[in-house]
Amino acid sequence: MRVVAVVGPTATGKSDLALDLAEALGTDAAPAEIVNADAYQLYRGMDVGTAKVPPAERRGIAHHQLDVLDPVQDASVARYQEAARADLDAIAGRGARAVVVGGSGLYVRALLDQMDFPGTDPQVRARLEARAETEGRRALHAELERLDPQAAESIGPHNTRRIVRALEVIELTGRPYTANLPRQEYVRPAVQIGLDCSRDVLDARVAARVDRMWDAGLVDEVRVLASPEQGGTGPGLGVTAARAVGYAEVLAWWRGELTEQEARDAVVANTRRLARKQMGWFGRDPRVRWLDAASPRLLDEALAVVAAADDGTLPEAGRMSDDAPVRRSLGS
Q: Please tell me whether 13 is known to bind a ligand.
A: yes
**Beta strands 113-114 and 183-186, pairing class:** antiparallel
Residue 12 annotated as lining a ligand binding site:
yes
Strand segments (E) across the chain: 3-7, 33-36, 63-64, 98-101, 113-114, 183-186, 190-196, 288-292
The alpha carbon dihedral of 248, 253, 257, 258 has a sign of: positive
On whether 11 is known to bind a ligand per the annotation, the reply is yes
Number of C-alpha atoms within 13 angstroms, CB side, residue 164?
20
Residue 10 known to bind ligand: yes
- DSSP state letter for 69: B
Q: Which residues contact 30 (CB under 8 A, 6 or more apart)?
A: 94, 95, 96, 97
**Cα–Cα distance measured from residue 175 to residue 182, given in angstroms and rounded to the nearest whole number:** 14
Catalogue the long-range contacts made by 168-174 (C-beta closer than 8 Å, 24 or more residues apart): 168/120, 168/121, 168/124, 168/125, 168/128, 169/118, 170/144, 171/121, 171/124, 172/118, 172/119, 172/120, 172/121, 172/124, 173/118
Helices 14-25 & 298-311 angle (0-180, nearest 10)? 60
- Which segments of 23-80 are extended strands (E)? 33-36, 63-64
Residue 95: alpha-carbon gap to chain centroid: 26
> Closest by alpha carbon to 7, among 113, 94, 85, 91?
113
Residue 103 assigned to a binding site: no
Determine whether the annotation assigns residue 14 to a binding site: yes
- Computed over its alpha carbons, how large is the radius of gyration of the chain? 21
User: What is the distance of C-alpha 26 from the center of its chain?
Assistant: 25
Instruction: Give the burial class of 173: count Cβ atoms within 10 A of its Cβ; 0-12 exposed, 13-18 middle, 19 or more buried.
Output: middle
What is the Cα 310 distance to its own chain's centre? 25
Point out the annotated binding site: 8-15
Point out the annotated binding site for substrate: 10-15
Point out the annotated binding site for ATP: 8-15
